[in-house]
Structure 1
Amino acid sequence: MFDNFVWPPSVQIPDSLMGLLLNSLILVVTIGILRAVTARFIRRTVQSAELRGRWLVNSRNGFLLLLLLGLVIIWGDELRTLALSIVAIAVAFVVATKELILCLTGSLLKSGSRSFNLGDRIQVKDFRGDVIDQSLLATTILEVGPGKTMHQRTGRVIVLPNALFVSEPIVNESFTDDYEFHVFTVPFKRDDDWQAARQALLDAATRQCEPYLEQVRRYMNRVSSQRGLAVPSVDPRVTIQVPAATEIHLVVRLPARPGQRSALEQTILSEVFSARSYSAGCSEEDEAIDESENATE
């Protein structure tokens, strides 16, 4: 009956491990005996029930702490080896999943700081567009461009890993919902009639914004009150920049609805430059034509 029975192979325990187990067993038995003797002594000698209970609890916790300390001393080398193995495994795991961890961290950072929402127009590094989808690992935008000054959708979709939000700043162009400020630059040479162009741009911008300027003013007052900010001026303005000794840049700033920035900019530029040219040569020709017309009259 037992002819075909296969006995399990004997387990060989190293001498070092056997010594550790024996020391641990001696420690447990010793601590158990000491605890029992101490508890018996407390029950016989302490008359107050409250004090007796307190000493019993304190002695039990003390012997338990002593047992844990003794086991740590006995198994110290093995625990150190195990800890090093665990650290090595953890480091390898972190290195292998670094990008995923950065994506999750970027998602938490984005959500915690409320950097942007669906529908906002953002720019991260050279990527710029409208946010159409968000997940724990990536953010999808519909590209706007080309360049940083255009507001036309290119039709391309860009998937940004959320790891970018950990190390790169986020530019949110949709700080307000109903109205926002739109800025564009018109370059001129120093010899051009940029003074007349500045006044023409200001007149055209004021004329285009006049129908909704009061609504923008009330909206900005409400937003400033809610967010504790100073009320910005909403009137269109044209400022001057001198990037080089031979150039003059006119910077136009005006309020606009989020979806009408490009159309408004094109309308103003078409209105200003279809009327006349502001280059130096054309200005002299226009003056000559005006003088000849006056002489004819």
Structure 2
Amino acid sequence: MALTPESFSLPDSMWRLLISTGLLLLAIIILRTLTARFIRRNVASSELRGRLLVNFRNGFLLLGILGVALIWGDQIRSLALSIVAIAVAFVVATKELILCVSGAILKSGAGSFNLGDRIQVKDFRGDVIDQTLLATTILEVGPGKTGHQRTGRMVVIPNALFVSEPVTNESFTDHWDFHVFTVPFKREDDWQAAQKALLEAANRHCRPYLESARKHMNKVGVLRGLEAPSVDPRVTIQAPVASEIHLTVRLPVKSGQRSYIEQAILSEVFASTDFFNQEPRPCDDEKQERDL
């Protein structure tokens, strides 16, 4: 089909807008030209003349923009509403992707963790092996929050999770970590002897590298403006329930050796005795007498 001038016809309202815009621009150009000519002829100071020319030029430009905005106001408003509707639909459709990108920017900007760090987000815990713009991949560690064995499973965490959930980074420094584990006892057990044995074993295993760990922690404290944490092994007492005593062991370890040190200390301490009270209780003695 041949193209004719009639096929390009515009509505009358559009023609009125175009004509109004053309007349406005023409008027502004004429006024600007006359004003510039008047300033050049009547202002003697070159500095004042240049300043007036620039100010009037910017003023006429602003006047033109405001005039065009008033003339095309309805069309601009309709276009803006369409753009907003399209933007809202796009955001709703890509909400999860936007959150993933936001999470990647957040964790990178905050320096939450690096490759090789052991992290925990909600119920996911493991060593970071890969990071992309949309997801973070970890090798799961467990069982639970206290285990340090690789489960053999790979977990892909969407970065959107880092926007709404806190991240626990178990790798305090690149070379040394603090490791904490708990040994439960009953109140009637010989937990005092166990406390002493655990502390002696922890000191014995940490002695070869204790001074190096102390120097490194002092350096980290100075670098971050914090008080350097004590690296000496310690065993503290906790009583979560009335009938139990929990001994909490805290000691410095080399990165990646948490499970090894914990198992070495427990094996050494419980190799000779289990510290459990084997004496029969009074109720047990009365039962034995009745049986006799």
TM-score by length of 1: 0.88
Task: Tell me the SS of whatever aligns to 2:275.
Answer: coil
1:228/1:53 Cα in 2 relative to 1: closer, same or farther (>3 Å)?
closer
2:155 counterpart of 1:174: no
**Cα shift at 1:77:** 1.1
- The reply to whether residue 123 of structure 1 matches residue 120 of structure 2 is yes
Q: Which runs of 5 or more structure 2 residues have no equivalent in the other structure?
A: 282-292
Aligned to 2:2: 6
Render the CA deviation track for 1:57-85: whole Å, top value 9, x for unaligned: 32222222111111111111111111111
Percent identity over the alignment?
68
1:24 aligns with 2:21: yes
Alpha-carbon shift at residue 173 of structure 1 (Å): 0.8
Structure 2 equivalent of residue 160 of structure 1? 157
The 1:283/1:215 distance shift into structure 2, 3 A limit, reads farther
Check if 1:95 corresponds to 2:105.
no
Change (3 A) 1:66 1:246: same
The count of aligned residue pairs is 280
Structure 1 unaligned regions, length at least 5 = 286-297
> Residue type of the partner of 1:245?
A
Give the one of 266, 270, 273 matched to 1:269: 266
Out of 137, 142, 145, the position equivalent to 1:145 is 142
1:113 maps onto 2:110 in alignment: yes
Q: What stretches of structure 1 move > 4 A for 4+ residues in a row?
A: none
Aligned to 1:198: 195
The amino acid across from 2:176 in the alignment is Y
Q: How does 1:39-118 map to 2 (within 5 A)?
A: 39-118=36-115
TM-score by length of 2: 0.89
Counterpart Cα distance in 1 of 2:231 and 2:163: 34
Q: Which residue pairs with 2:284 in the alignment? A: none
Shift of 1:210: 1.9
Q: Per the alignment, do residues 20 and 250 of structure 1 end up closer, same or farther by CA in structure 2, a change over 3 Å counting? A: same
Aligned equivalents of 2:47, 2:213: Cα separation in 1 = 75
Q: Is the 8 A contact 1:277 1:283 kept in 2?
A: no
CA distance, structure 2, for counterparts of residue 181 and residue 52 of structure 1: 73
Q: 1:283: how far off?
A: 5.1
Cα deviation, 1:215-234, whole Å, max 9, x if unaligned, reads 22222222222222212222
In the alignment, residue 6 of structure 1 is paired with which amino acid?
Answer: A
Q: Which moved more, 1:228-237 or 1:168-177?
A: 228-237
Q: Does 1:236 align with 2:233?
A: yes
Q: Which amino acid aligns with 2:208?
A: P
Q: Return the match for 1:278 from 259, 262, 275.
A: 275
Cα 1:32–1:231, aligned 2, differ >3 Å: closer, same or farther?
closer
Secondary structure, counterpart of 1:275 in structure 2: coil
Query: Any idea what SS the aligned residue of 1:19 has?
Result: helix
Question: What is the rounded CA distance, in whole Å, between the counterparts of 2:146 and 2:197 in structure 1?
Answer: 21
Query: CA RMSD of the aligned region, Å?
Result: 1.9
- 1:133-186, Cα deviation, whole Å (9 max, x unpaired): 111111111111010101001111111111111111111111112221110001
Offset at 1:11? 2.5
Distance 2:245 2:144 in 1: 21
